[in-house]
Amino acid sequence: MNQREFFDRIARTYGLKWTIEEENRIVAARVVSGEERFVEVGCGKGLFLAETTVPTAIGIDFSEGMLREARRLLPERGFVLGDATRLPLRRGSVGTLVFLNVLHNQDHPEIWLRSARRGGARKIVVDFRNLLNPIVFLKTLRSRSRFRRVDMDYRPSTRWDFRRLLEKNGWRPVRFHPVIRPPADPNTGFQRRHLIGWLVSRIPGLAPTYVVEAVATGEPE
């Protein structure tokens, strides 16, 4: 099963459970709160757009199933079917792009970053899964099992490697926001393993994910 088929299939149930993705959305919503307009690429069913109060926000996704759910959830927002490698935007029409909960599933995240530069964006808000976090590391090993059902890798990064990825593709990171889940899992309540994960993630450099603000460097290619 490829990525598009997978997301079409899970569109109805996606986001029903609280995961680290929801924590990413909360942090990213604070980051973009001062913007007047942005576009989210890989918006899924619009859960992040539902989180933000920015007046003008548009979502782009390649999954028709996800966009169908997004339009049902947020009829007042605009949603466009499109591919991140060929953004359906006029050059320079949007200053800020958001890539949330998507790059760690891409074989070539640099294509997304270069596409954003060619589109004339001046700022991106993006996240990555932190390979130094023990839970993320174990999930990475599990995702590469030969028994997986979806043709999609889980590709975390270290903070240093992600910085290099951004800089190589025309972006200068200006701030890393650590994202830490609460000690009690919102799905199941308090459990000892969640407390251990919370304590580990509070060690400097071991947050499970980071939301990153980056600005464009030089002129777009």
Domains and CATH numbers, the chain: 3-216 (3.40.50.150)
pTM, two decimal places: 0.87
The CA-to-CA distance between both ends of the chain, in Å, stands at 34
Task: Yes or no: say if 64 and 161 are a contact pair by the CB < 8 Å rule.
Answer: no
Query: How high is the pLDDT of residue 147?
Result: 45
Low-confidence ranges of the chain (pLDDT < 70): 1-8, 10-12, 15-16, 18, 92, 144-153, 185-191, 219-221
Query: How high is the pLDDT of residue 27?
Result: 94
Pairing mode, if any, of strands 78-81 and 209-216?
unpaired
